[in-house]
Structure 1
């Protein structure tokens, strides 16, 4: 089933991923989770201030972050096709892509894949969980023709560890 994405833009930018790219990236993740019928989500592109506010209010971290994931939690007994919301901080994604010597498109694909996996219940709080999630990310991104985002040449570990805490 194709994803239904509500693409929201809360800042001035002309280099954001388009609807078709978002659907492609999310679609590849959902295809790997065919047992989960949820396929509707919002992807909102924000500035540093909105990202920082949400990260502070919902995660207790008073700084902007690259991607925040808000899984949908419906009332008991109510089943909907909603996965949840992704909030992506455009200015930070631009900085990270440059610092990590990645194309903006490749880094956006990584953020969307990473966030969608969170919406599906994956996490990286424990080392074992991180290994599983990162392996999924690598595999999904490789299927899209995108290099391993965790390879040493594609990652500034200090920057990524500080900011990729969604």
Structure 2
């Protein structure tokens, strides 16, 4: 699978994953769903996440990952998948609260967000079961533990 990835890092946080790690995690999520894809990942701090979450979801707090699918007609045949905005401080805080290694939680956020870009959702219980099962299998394939074994309050919900 050919992936064109643009990573933007305006966050002031340290310990962020490399472009190569983000690409590997996104490729795993995309799998065979597409021959090629273009994806932007923007790693932000809480102020930008809050502004976007308020504007697009009506929520008054920063969140771990926001997904913005490219809403293009299929007949155009363009590989643009969409954009992910990941809030580094929220991901770090959640990893600590959920007793997860930071790379495991970062991988989960990239996989989770990319699956949203591919049309998966977790609003309905049946859809959540499908999406969480897929996330678990993908992350285990990447060498990470089940992200839902010690699931605590997730700011994404």
Q: TM-score, normalised by structure 2?
A: 0.95
The counterpart of 2:62, out of the listed 64, 75, 78, is 64
Whole-Å separation in 2 of the counterparts to 1:149 and 1:123: 16
TM-superposed CA distance for 1:30, in Å, is 1.6
CA deviation string 1:45-71 (max 9, x = no partner): 001110010011011111100000000
Mapped contact 1:2–1:23 kept (Cα < 8 A)? no
2:156 is aligned to 164
Residue 155 of structure 1 deviates from its aligned partner by 1.9
Displacement of 1:101 in angstroms is 0.4
Provide structure 1 residue ranges, at least 5 long, that are not aligned to the other structure.
none
Partner residue of 1:155?
151
C-alpha RMSD over aligned residues: 1.3
- Further displaced range: 9-18 or 103-112: 9-18
Q: Which aligned segments of 4 or more residues in structure 1 are displaced greater than 3 angstroms? A: none
| Secondary structure of 2:12 counterpart | coil
SS at match of 1:73: coil
> What's the TM-score once normalised by structure 1's chain length?
0.90
Q: Distance in 2 between matches of 1:35 and 1:28?
A: 10
Segment drifting more, 60-69 vs 6-15: 6-15
Question: Equivalent residue for 1:79?
Answer: 77
CA displacement 1:115-148 (0-9 Å, x = unmatched): 0000000000000000000000000000011111
Aligned to 1:15: 15
Structural mapping, 1:129-140, within 5 Å: 129-140=127-138
Match of 1:110 among 108, 111, 114: 108
Cα deviation for residue 15 of structure 1 reads 0.8
